[in-house]
Amino acid sequence: MAKPIKILVTGGLGYIGSHTVVELQQAGYEVVIIDDCSNASEAVLEGIAAITGKPPHFERFDLREKKKVIDFFNRHPDIKGTIHFAASKAVGESVEKPLLYYENNLGSLVYLLQQLTGRGRRSFIFSSSCTVYGQADALPITEGAPVKPAESPYGNTKQIGEEIIGDTCRVHPELQAISLRYFNPIGAHPSNMIGELPMGIPQNLVPFITQTAAGLRKELSVFGDDYPTPDGTCIRDYIYVVDLARAHVVALQRLLEEGNQENYEVFNIGTGTGTSVLEVIHSFERVSGKALNYQIVGRRPGDVTQAYADTSKANKTLGWKATTALDQAIKTAWDWEQKIRAL
């Protein structure tokens, strides 16, 4: 039996990272996780093992510690691919603490890439975001849409990160890289063993909805209903986290295959469908049978009116497509919330 291909997942205890570890293990890869647990709990390892029966090898350290990154790769020369999730990702916090975001998100990326070049063929997948598009001029958004000036240091670290990777791939043909620009990930694993564990007050819509329904929050504030959209609320592309995780596996498979594709590609990963805030609320009320307590308030600074993906490039080139309907994804989020609150 051939030795399984070894893949590093940084931030593998996080929300998207943990779901991707599960899909990688179930696709037959051996997974090693690096996580500093600054925004994730080691208990997630048990959830992963409960699903796959294989506790991944885990090392806890901060990727800003360059010596530890070098030591790690010297101890694991057989890692063929790296999926890089580890980063600070709170938009608001990044405005308050820009240097923390530039050091953590970009410093770690440089240290990783230094270990992935000059060592023979290596694959690298970067967790990027549709935030790089800002308010796109045309919808749905294609990968050719212009990158707009970032609205936050967080968004800027994604833009600069992609440029760092592109510049590196240009002079290092041995590095095969893909950036996946996520739209809005939602939901939890169908096993209910892993899911989103936002620390503190959730910034994102779906965890705020489920925490409100669970009684942790008094009510959901809907940030504006005076946008130029059919119901006045903002439109986003909410993609089920397991569909997103699976996109990483197919992207990795593309990179591991000897191929003559250019060594750096970018893909939009969404459903291709736009959904408004009120439609998400109605979806939740349908699947939970509960009326959600919410009220319309003023707009949130920095919000774009609409963002949803043109997924034809990922569909055609990766052979990947999101298959989970909104209600099903929202139901997994609600099941997970009830479980972690032992409701």
Stretch that binds ligand WQD, among 4-12, 22-30, 53-61, 218-226 (CB under 6 A): 218-226
Q: How far is the CB of 85 from ligand WQD (least distance, A)?
A: 10
Q: Is 129 in the site for ligand WQD (CB under 6 A)?
A: yes
Question: Hey, which residues between 160 and 189 contact ligand WQD (CB under 6 A)?
Answer: 182, 184
154 is a catalytic site residue: yes
Exactly one of 131, 159, 210, 263 binds ligand WQD (CB under 6 A); that residue is 131
Cis peptide before 140 (omega within 30 of 0): yes
For 227-275, the DSSP string reads: SSSTTSS-EE-EEEHHHHHHHHHHHHHHHHS---S-SEEEEEES-S--E
Q: Is 205 in the site for ligand WQD (CB under 6 A)?
A: yes
- Cβ–Cβ < 8 Å for 297, 224: yes
Looking only at the bridges linking them, the beta strands covering 79-84 and 122-129 are parallel
Alpha helix positions (H), the chain: 15-26, 44-52, 66-75, 91-96, 98-101, 108-116, 153-171, 205-213, 241-256, 277-288, 312-313, 326-340
**Token pair 């469908």 in the structure block, residue:** 273
Q: Is 148 in the site for ligand WQD (CB under 6 A)?
A: no
Q: How far is the CB of 182 from ligand WQD (least distance, A)?
A: 6
Rounded to whole angstroms, how far apart are CA atoms 240 and 330? Answer: 8
CA atoms within 13 A on the CB side of 181: 30
Exactly one of 203, 312, 317, 328 binds ligand WQD (CB under 6 A); that residue is 203
Q: How far is the CB of 307 from ligand WQD (least distance, A)?
A: 7
Of the pair 91, 177, the CB lying nearest ligand WQD is at 91
Of the pair 234, 251, the CB lying nearest ligand WQD is at 234
Rounded to whole angstroms, how far apart are CA atoms 169 and 33? Answer: 24
For the chain, helix (H) and strand (E) counts, in that order, are 12, 13
Q: Is 211 in the site for ligand WQD (CB under 6 A)?
A: no
Catalytic site residue from 133, 154, 182, 227: 154
Q: Is 300 in the site for ligand WQD (CB under 6 A)?
A: yes
Question: Hey, which residues between 219 and 258 contact ligand WQD (CB under 6 A)?
Answer: 220-223, 234, 236
Rounded to whole angstroms, how far apart are CA atoms 269 and 239? Answer: 8
Stretch that binds ligand WQD, among 6-14, 30-38, 62-70, 203-211 (CB under 6 A): 203-211
What the block records as the tokens of 124 is 């690298």
Q: How far is the CB of 184 from ligand WQD (least distance, A)?
A: 5
Q: How far is the CB of 331 from ligand WQD (least distance, A)?
A: 18
What's the distance, CA 102 to chain centroid? 18
Q: How far is the CB of 252 from ligand WQD (least distance, A)?
A: 20
The footprint of ligand WQD (CB under 6 A) covers 89, 91, 129, 131, 182, 184, 203-205, 208, 220-223, 234, 236, 277, 300, 303
Active site members: 154
